[in-house]
Amino acid sequence: MVRLAIVGCTGKLGSAIMKNAIHRDDVEISYAIARRGNQYVGQTVSALVGGEIDLPIIDDIETARDCDVFVDCTNAETFMNDSYFKYKRMGKALVIATTAFPEEAMEKIGELAAEISVFISGNFSVALHDFVETLKTYARRISLDTDIQIIEYHHNQKKDAPSGTALMIKNALMDANSKIDGEKVKICSIRGGNIFGEHEVVFANSRDEVVTFKHQVSSRETFADGAIEISIWTVKQANGFYNMDDFCLSKLK
């Protein structure tokens, strides 16, 4: 059984991961960790997910010694300023469910991956990964007069705009076809209500043709389950830097 420590456990994804994990036999939540001063610190996980779970919510990563993997659901600033060196000292496998890292931060995380297994992704949906692979195939065939619009929708409490997933899609398109002009790839970010996540990519050329691709989710279940499956997988990997490509390719072998 893989023992999880959920960092940022009071957030939308962190609490969803815990809610799903407590119903599984292959993982257990060993630690639930929130930021110092969070209103839930000192209460039990039951306060977040219901039921009768006596596990207390704590605020110190370095007390989580009996876990196999940390799942970080905080944000880039908190990760780099408060957590990075703690993870380095702990020496446990790490799954990063955090986006919007600047280039220098990604370099530091790469250094961390030389010492532990590190998985990072802006989205834990396998279907989303396949969606992006389809987009890449199409992008290789478009004419150079094609404008590309990425429209992404999320709940009104999401802080980053554009989302990490939207940026991932843009980078994937440009990597797939080096002739794509980055100035022709625009991202429109919409924030409203409780939208879980939706990404639409529109290709429009000057010959009156429009092709649209869309990925939509109606709950956080797929992200939570994906994070759990990836955590189990990451624990088994050698030190290194991993992403959704690595995880999905391993399932094809």
Catalytic residues: 154, 158
* DSSP 3-state of 186: strand
Query: For residue 98, which of 2, 12, 195 has the smallest C-alpha distance?
Result: 12
> What are 217's two structure tokens?
């989710």
Distance CA 173, CA 136 (A): 5
Round the CA-based radius of gyration of the chain to a whole number and report it: 19
Distance CA 99, CA 74 (A): 9
Side chain identity at residue 85, one-letter code: F
Question: Which residues does 206 contact at the CB level (< 8 Å), separation at least 6?
Answer: 145
